[in-house]
Structure 1
Amino acid sequence: MSMDLTDGDETRGRRALTWLYPVLAAFALVLVILQTLPLVLPIGPMYWDVLVYYDAIGRIAQGQWPAVDFFAPVGPLEYFLAAFSNVLFPQAQPVLLTQWIWLPVTVPVMALILWDVASRSGGRAAFWLLVPWMLFTALPYNVVDFYPYPGTDAFGIYNRHGAQLMYLVAATVLFVRGPVIQTVLLSVLVLALAFCKITAFLAAGPVLLFGLVLGRIRLGTAITTALVCVGVTGIAELTTGMVVPYVQDIIVLASQNTGALLPRFLTAASLHFNVFGAGGLLAIVLLIATLSGNAGTGSRSSGSAIARLIDADWFWVGLLLVCGLFYETQNTGSQAFLLVWPALLAILLKLKTEYGRYKTVIVVLIGFTVLPNVSTVLHKAARAIAVAPGYIQLDAPDLGPLGRVSAKDVFVTRAERIRQIYIDRRETFEDIAAQGILPSFLLFSDPDYQYLLLQEMQEAAEAVKSLELRSKRRFESVFSLDFANPFPYILRRKGAEFVSIGADPNRAVPELDPKTRDAVAQTDLVLVPTCPVHHARRVLLEHYASALTGHERITLTPCYDAFILPRTQ
């Protein structure tokens, strides 16, 4: 706490913290308890994003490290925190576990933010910084609908993590004033962003830069933060050898995602036009109000007129919107615009004394900026809770908590019926795949596709165990030629080394180098899903084909082929 606080400020701050901290502690405790319960959630679009985490969890349990032993689509901390949470909560529902893996970091960060803000501004400002973070942290939903039926959003969980960390950065820059607390917060958050998702780190960069330029971050704080981050990163590299491979993976991913940036901005802006449009109008109105003398200039009371004009509400709203939009160009559909809220809160806290005749239009535009995302997340959560009791639970005991999902009866029926079509008409789907298209544009969002995927993984796991009994052989390493490969976790075996997890062949599968080829060539069991054969699976099979020439291909189940490495004599 800074020494410039009065006794009244200190007393008011302590009084606010006596109820703010219990709220935060109760929130964290509820999320912990929920992870100890055998909850079943309705399956949602692209549930297989969760399976990627469990691929990493299984690998880490066998001694493999992200970036060092396998190619990961996002930062290594995502997977280490997931593995840590799995140790603590081995039976947690996977969507909830992966949604909340950052709590050991974000809860202490939020506690420090509350300490500083409550001490200076009382409980109201601190409480309204806490509420949005709790809402978007607790509920595993994106702000974009990828499918019309209710379910739980597993798509892009790491995108939501990045958005929540960016929110904490914005709150720290705009509200925290204690230099020591701010240094601690920024050191933790910069490292967290860098090792969570690099695009979130880049998107938060302008917030930090202008925070420094405009005096909201002291030069000493910035230098100390930089030294801490460099020191921790250096120690991590010296002790684990993980940092350099992680940077190399980022370069590879960037080289595979070099599409034109302008179309991505247009796509993201159109997708979030309700929020971005209203927020953009708000920034314009705030600028007009500032130029007309109807508003103050933020916390800056000295310096040049230009500096006072820039360090104002209009600028921070506009900057945070642009940073959120940039993040959305790389991570469409997450909670990116959550980070705008601290700037909006700063406006609301001083509307009684500033903005004059512009107050009404400002409040309306703030509402249009905030409410769409809040209402979407709450609506999706309410729908999932409402329908869950009538859904059919998947029967997949070998999958452990991965199988703790349910689906609407029509989707279960469709999965059963279309499975036979996939088997009987395999040539048809191979022909479709050869054309570089999917049987349905929304195939990966279809609940029946994700439900069938888990069903077939259960059957494949049973078949592998049966094959081992018949052949009196244990397959020590396993790999699946699909986007998600949770078999190291399901079978408790080593995963093939140096391969990509989250294997999107269009953007996250590097060229097959000799090291990876040799690793796949030495893998005991390589699984090939065939219900259905589709373009991405076909591309992955072709990608690794040169490493499988020494394997024998068999039909493991009607929906899985397998490449088996012959026994060594």
Structure 2
Amino acid sequence: MSEISDTPKGVAVRRTGGTVAHLLSPLGVVLLVLLGCALLLSLRVSVPIGAMYWDLYVIIDGATRVLDGQIPSVDFFAPVGPLGYWMQAAGMRLFPTGQPLLLTQWSYLLVILPPMLPVLARIDRSSRSVALTLLLPLLLFVLFPINVEQASSYPSVDGYGIYNRQGAQVLYALTVALVFERRQRVLLFAIAWCCAALFLSKITGFITGGLLCAFAFAAGRVRLSTALMSVVAFAAVLGLIEAMSGLVSAYLGDISTLVAMNEGVLASRFIQAASIHFGIFGSGLCLLIALLWLDRRPALQLALTAVRRPNLATLHAVLDRNSVWLGVLLFAGLFYETQNTGGQGFIFVWPVLLAILMASGRYADRGTILVFALVAATAIPPAVNVAHKGMRALIGQMRYETLPVANLKGLAQISQRPEVIERGYALLRSYVDQRATYQAFADADLLPTFSLYSEMDFQIAWLLAASEAVDAVRAYETANGVRFRTVMDLNFVNPFAYLLDKDAVRQIAIGADPFRAVPPLDAATKAAVEQADLVLYPRCPVTNANMSLRRIYEPALTGHRLIELSPCWQAYIRADLGPSS
């Protein structure tokens, strides 16, 4: 695989040029993209709401807590690392009218690009086409908040799978460095940066990145001194964070709790991930088999040499091959997807696929054609899916309407077909008028429909219910001369501190899935909930998940009185908060 560090044959070496040439350089393209993103985030734009869009509200909840001075994992139980909440919080401060999903998606450019740009700048000096072929696909995946999987037949964006997309994009940057960079100082920076970002984003991404780094070391790409210094730099970053906040140890505790709550499903998830991504994974396996066959003679000779004269040089020669790299990347991609529901799976295989294309000229014509075809079959589906869905969303929303509410801040910056919005209103009326029916579903541990949270009319109805809650809370405060300071919601999402400009209750779980991500009530959490001024309980619709959450926190609500706040909401108000208090 060593040929990928050289100027590829048949690719023109970059010439010096004027302004246009500079704008078309990787740095020029990046600056133009960042400028465009900043401009759009400065405007009040909307995006077409899609399946499970409310996952975004979990990030907004976390970011709001960060802006209030809370520390992830220390002051609240988080499903992932803190980096996404930190980036969102900074973005909300810089772009208060920015569309929240675009802000979440684009803020990670500041995480992804630093380790990539030095690598691309070096490649650009010999081959601009190769540099741009590495950069442009990543920009496609970052700029469109779209997953490679299809969850809705309507043009829309994906508010779910955000953590998974962010991790995959950082892994892409790491793979570019490991595959295309030889300078050890640049590798040291890229490895330390990406591993810290992955650890602070999603732990499965960090494990996947560690696997790639370990293989790069075994293949001779990363020297021992570079590996050790990368570990030292990574540990120094985490040590500083731990010393300042205690976050790292608390985060590891959260991970341990989540693992204990979700153990025993890894093997089945490998099968599930392979089936969901079979178009990419299956094509990649076919390419791997083809490479092993085409390279069988030199590979066999290397293997025999390694057996006869075992040393580091022969080990590196055996491992540092296109086929081995591809196999490792496919396994790493499959492992990463075992813990994901939605995302941009396997996009970080592209740098290795490009290296394979660049080396394919050494095969006979039929071999070259076969390699090109299988690389295309592996690489094209995710890019085409994201581009297709992204352009459909962009064009389709020209006929969409925005949500006609004025009290949801950035949550209202969405659009959808008029009939879907009208159906959201109808659903809300149904939730109230037919409450006994929905209660019967919940009592049977069933959702009204199997894919309820994926349905766009439900997402619209939830926003309309949230708008009702905001108005009802403000009306109650005005009518009773009371001012609530802290608020929480017995629901999967809890954006009401953000919507009502209040403090979020500490020590509770955000992204509160009671079956997978809410730990048992402990003393600290119980004390925090007991001091909550306002605890909202949603009933549009009544669901088994919300009922389960209420059962978890009920021991901490004995000092609250329950009121009917509005048709869709009950509220637990702390007993000592009477009128005019």
Query: TM-score, normalised on structure 2?
Result: 0.92
1:80-159 equivalence runs, <5 A: 80-119=86-125, 121-159=126-164
Deviation by residue 1:512-545 (Cα, 9 ceiling, x = unmatched) = 1011011111100000111100111111111111
Among candidates 176, 179, 189, match of residue 184 of structure 2: 179
Contact 2:220 2:316 in 1 (8 A): no
Contact 2:294 2:363 in 1 (8 A): no
Deviation by residue 1:168-192 (Cα, 9 ceiling, x = unmatched) = 1111111111111111111111100
Shift of 1:356: 5.1
CA distance in 1 between partners of 2:53 and 2:232 (Å): 40
Shift of 1:261: 1.6
Question: Helix, strand or coil for the counterpart of 1:554?
Answer: strand
User: Which runs of no fewer than 5 residues in structure 1 stay unpaired?
Assistant: none
Question: Helix, strand or coil for the counterpart of 1:555?
Answer: strand
1:160 is matched with 165
CA distance in 2 between partners of 1:326 and 1:77 (Å): 22
Stretch deviating more after TM superposition (411-420 or 167-176)? 411-420
Q: Is structure 2 residue 317 aligned with structure 1 residue 308?
A: yes
Letter in 2 for 1:28: L
Among candidates 259, 263, 267, match of residue 262 of structure 1: 267
Among candidates 70, 74, 77, match of residue 80 of structure 2: 74
CA distance in 1 between partners of 2:37 and 2:286 (Å): 37
Letter in 1 for 2:335: F
Q: Is structure 2 residue 524 aligned with structure 1 residue 521?
A: no
CA distance in 2 between partners of 1:307 and 1:291 (Å): 17
Q: Is structure 2 residue 280 aligned with structure 1 residue 275?
A: yes
Change (3 A) 1:132 1:24: same
Letter in 2 for 1:109: P
Question: Helix, strand or coil for the counterpart of 1:429?
Answer: helix
CA distance in 2 between partners of 1:295 and 1:343 (Å): 22
Question: Helix, strand or coil for the counterpart of 1:100?
Answer: helix
1:554 is matched with 563
CA distance in 2 between partners of 1:332 and 1:295 (Å): 40
Among candidates 394, 399, 406, match of residue 403 of structure 2: 394
1:55 is matched with 61
Shift of 1:83: 0.2
2:39 is matched with 33
Shift of 1:260: 2.5
Contact 1:62 1:493 in 2 (8 A): no
Shift of 1:351: 2.1
Question: Helix, strand or coil for the counterpart of 2:449?
Answer: coil
2:478 is matched with 469
Deviation by residue 1:468-507 (Cα, 9 ceiling, x = unmatched) = 1111111000000111100111111111110001111121
Contact 1:488 1:494 in 2 (8 A): yes
Change (3 A) 1:65 1:296: farther
Q: Is structure 2 residue 341 aligned with structure 1 residue 332?
A: yes
1:292 is matched with 297
CA distance in 1 between partners of 2:16 and 2:178 (Å): 24
Shift of 1:417: 1.6
1:241 is matched with 246
1:189 is matched with 194
Among candidates 428, 445, 450, match of residue 441 of structure 1: 450
Letter in 2 for 1:67: S
Contact 2:486 2:503 in 1 (8 A): yes
Among candidates 214, 217, 225, match of residue 222 of structure 2: 217
Q: Is structure 2 residue 520 aligned with structure 1 residue 511?
A: yes
Change (3 A) 1:248 1:294: closer
Question: Helix, strand or coil for the counterpart of 1:469?
Answer: helix
Cα-Cα RMSD: 2.3
Contact 2:427 2:461 in 1 (8 A): no
Contact 2:446 2:544 in 1 (8 A): yes
2:50 is matched with 44
Letter in 1 for 2:468: E
1:409-428 equivalence runs, <5 A: 409-428=418-437
Among candidates 323, 336, 341, match of residue 332 of structure 2: 323
Contact 2:196 2:234 in 1 (8 A): yes
Letter in 2 for 1:370: A
2:29 is matched with 23
Change (3 A) 1:27 1:296: farther
Letter in 2 for 1:464: V
Contact 1:399 1:490 in 2 (8 A): yes
Shift of 1:238: 0.7
User: Which runs of no fewer than 5 residues in structure 2 stay unpaired?
Assistant: none
Stretch deviating more after TM superposition (356-365 or 107-116)? 107-116
Letter in 2 for 1:63: G
Deviation by residue 1:339-392 (Cα, 9 ceiling, x = unmatched) = 100110001112223465311111111111011111111111121122212112
Letter in 1 for 2:424: A
CA distance in 1 between partners of 2:284 and 2:270 (Å): 16
Contact 1:38 1:93 in 2 (8 A): yes
Deviation by residue 1:89-143 (Cα, 9 ceiling, x = unmatched) = 1111111011112122222222122123334x42222111111111101110000
Shift of 1:310: 2.6
Contact 2:111 2:170 in 1 (8 A): no
Among candidates 364, 379, 387, match of residue 370 of structure 1: 379
Letter in 2 for 1:292: R
Question: Helix, strand or coil for the counterpart of 2:559?
Answer: coil
Contact 1:57 1:489 in 2 (8 A): no
Contact 2:428 2:465 in 1 (8 A): no
Change (3 A) 1:295 1:31: farther
2:439 is matched with 430
Deviation by residue 1:259-307 (Cα, 9 ceiling, x = unmatched) = 332211111111111110000010111011111349999xxx9965564
CA distance in 2 between partners of 1:355 and 1:477 (Å): 70
Contact 2:45 2:98 in 1 (8 A): yes
CA distance in 2 between partners of 1:259 and 1:356 (Å): 48
CA distance in 2 between partners of 1:112 and 1:142 (Å): 28
CA distance in 2 between partners of 1:116 and 1:202 (Å): 28
Question: Helix, strand or coil for the counterpart of 2:107?
Answer: coil
1:385 is matched with 394
Question: Helix, strand or coil for the counterpart of 1:37?
Answer: coil
Among candidates 375, 387, 405, match of residue 414 of structure 2: 405
Shift of 1:556: 1.0
Q: Is structure 2 residue 493 aligned with structure 1 residue 460?
A: no
Contact 2:64 2:498 in 1 (8 A): yes
Contact 1:477 1:496 in 2 (8 A): yes
Identity of aligned residues (%): 39
Shift of 1:446: 0.7
Letter in 2 for 1:39: V
Question: Helix, strand or coil for the counterpart of 1:478?
Answer: strand
CA distance in 2 between partners of 1:22 and 1:337 (Å): 27
Contact 1:58 1:492 in 2 (8 A): no
Among candidates 247, 253, 256, match of residue 251 of structure 1: 256
Deviation by residue 1:56-79 (Cα, 9 ceiling, x = unmatched) = 122122221111110111101110
